[in-house]
Amino acid sequence: MKIIAFNGSPRKTWNTATLLNKALEGAASQGAETELIHLYDLNYKGCISCFACKTIGGKSYGKCPIQDDLAPIFKKVEEADAIILGSPIYVGRVTGEMATFMDRLVFQYLEYTNPPQSLFPKKMNTGFIYTMNEKEEKLKTNGYDKPITINEHVMGIVFGSCESLLSFDTHQFKDYAKVVATAFDAEAKAKRREEVFPIECQKAFDMGVRFATEVV
Ligand SMILES: Cc1cc2nc3c(=O)[nH]c(=O)nc-3n(C[C@H](O)[C@H](O)[C@H](O)COP(=O)(O)O)c2cc1C
């Protein structure tokens, strides 16, 4: 059992990475082999719309032909038993690195058929962990639920399932006194970090346990 997590935050030890690590700890507690990959360490660009992955009889049908840092990563994904993506919300959607990774990851396996089919060689559990400054009650009014629903839908088509875990009102700055951030109550942020973030970490841990034990 191998479970890989992908961190779409530039920060390697903050909210998103912490939750991903918790999920991997949960998986490891059940004996799974785990790996955390930081997308910001990799060199890659977005889909170039070459359609090699869609060309009838082509040698890259169902495979992204671009030979950059994502090529070995896609091989690892095919060999994995579950994957967990994690990203902060930047300007209402996932980070550019995560969006670019997602485009390249899923598009190669998506068959333009009606209904759409998946060329990914098997079904597997996938999870998507989102962290954001926003409070839960603003999720819908801000429209953040839309990209999350789309990701669930597309990942569901390609991999068979996708479970989302959302972490709200995160602790963003080491020292709120050193930045202009009057929109936030530093004390309330610290309190939430102590009281609510551990619950979200437990949910991430439980996701890891489930993915390591409930094979699809
Ligand atoms: C460039 C940038 C844009 C952001 N945009 C949003 C946003 O639109 N909505 C939101 O709720 N939080 C936003 N945030 C806050 C982050 O989503 C939040 O602090 C997140 O938990 C950071 O994840 P990390 O600690 O793993 O880096 C933004 C942060 C940055 C740096």
How many angstroms is it from 181 CA to the middle of ligand 1?
Answer: 13
Atom of ligand 1 nearest to the CA of 14: 25
CA 212 / ligand 1 centre spacing (Å): 29
Provide the token pair at 162: 């996708």
By CB atoms closer than 10 A (0-12, 13-18, 19+), residue 61 is: middle
Distance in Å, CA 3 to ligand 1 centroid = 26
Q: pLDDT band for 215, please (50, 70, 90 cuts).
A: confident
pLDDT, one tens digit per residue, over 133-166 is: 999 999 999 999 999 999 999 999 999 999 999 9
To test the pocket of ligand 1, the residue of 14, 18, 21, 91 to mutate (highest count of ligand atoms within 8 Å of its CB) is 91
pLDDT at 128: 98
Buried b / exposed e across 162-190, counting CB within 10 Å, b at 16+? Answer: bbbbbbbbbbbeeebeeeeeeeeeeeebe
Residue 216, pLDDT > 90, answer no
Q: Is the CB of 172 under 6 A from ligand 1?
A: yes
94 CA → ligand 1 middle, Å: 9
By percentage, how much of the chain surpasses pLDDT 70? Answer: 100
Say whether pLDDT at 121 is over 90.
yes
Q: Region of 62 please: left (phi>0), alpha (psi -120 to 50) or beta.
A: left
Q: Is 8 in the pocket of ligand 1 (CB under 6 A)?
A: no
State the helix-helix crossing angle for 186-195 and 197-213, rounded to 10 degrees: 40
DSSP letter for 35, please: E
8 alpha carbon to ligand 1 midpoint, in Å?
Answer: 11
Atom of ligand 1 nearest to the CA of 131: 21
Q: What is the pLDDT of residues 54-93, one digit of tens each?
A: 999 999 999 999 999 999 999 999 999 999 999 999 999 9
Decide: 165 and 207 in contact? Cβ < 8 Å: yes
Question: Mean pLDDT score of the chain, rounded to an integer?
Answer: 97
Query: Whose C-alpha lies nearest to ligand 1, atom 2?
Result: 90
Write out the two tokens for 159: 């991999």
Q: What percent of the chain has pLDDT over 90?
A: 99
Question: Model-level pTM greater than 0.95?
Answer: yes
**Distance spanning both ends of the chain, measured CA to CA:** 12
Q: How far apart are CA 169 and CA 199, in angstroms?
A: 13
Q: Sign of the C-alpha dihedral, residues 192, 11, 134, 210? A: negative
